[in-house]
Amino acid sequence: MINNALAWFFANTSLIAFGFAILLGIIGFVKRANSKKGHVWEPLEFWMLFLFVGLVGVYTFALHCFWPDLAAEGIGWKNSPFQWEVGIANAVVGVLGLLSLKASRQFRSAVVIAVSIWLWGDAVGHVYQMVTAGNFTPGNAGPWFWTDVIGPSALILFHICNRG
């Protein structure tokens, strides 16, 4: 039972992080709106950058670089040397997400652009795999695909609305 719960958690990490980022962001949004202190959209952008971009980026770095067989199997691929390179790219995005928490608006804009290109590019790759290879494994066509599509849209919206 514990193994099933852990497997479910790891298969749904992006969705869990996205959900918690939205939940915590909404709580912060409401608190700021009621107190009329600070920019109300800041908590939504903050939590998306911290949880969805930063922590998920670090998590996927570790997964691709240190457990490449597990990562590849979850996506429906065979392990290859490119796993290391994908993991390093995830590390870059994750670290940028974490650094953006106390950074300027321009830095955050660059992070939002980079994450959006990365994840939407991943989503296109997932669709290609679904169409050409019939790859509907959960790591290719499940929660990771949907957060690759929806996550950047939410992040862009929150960033645009968070004009401080």
State pLDDT tens for residues 67-83: 999 899 989 999 999 99
**In this model, does residue 116 exceed pLDDT 70?**
yes
**In this model, does residue 36 exceed pLDDT 90?**
no
Predicted confidence (pLDDT) per residue in 86-111, tens digit: 999 999 999 999 999 999 999 999 99
Between residues 10 and 19, the one the model is more confident about:
19
Average pLDDT, the chain: 94
**In this model, does residue 2 exceed pLDDT 80?**
no
The pLDDT assigned to 58 comes to 97
The pLDDT assigned to 164 comes to 59
Domain boundaries, the chain: 2-161
String of DSSP letters for the chain: -HHHHHHHHHHTHHHHHHHHHHHHHHHHHHHHHHHT-S-TTHHHHHHIIIIIIIIHHHHHHHHHHH-HHHHHHHHT----THHHHHHHHHHHHHHHHHHGGGS-HHHHHHHHHHHHHHHHHHHHHHHHHHHHH----HHHHSHHHHHHHHHHHHHHHHHHH---
* Confidence tier at 163 by pLDDT (50, 70, 90): confident
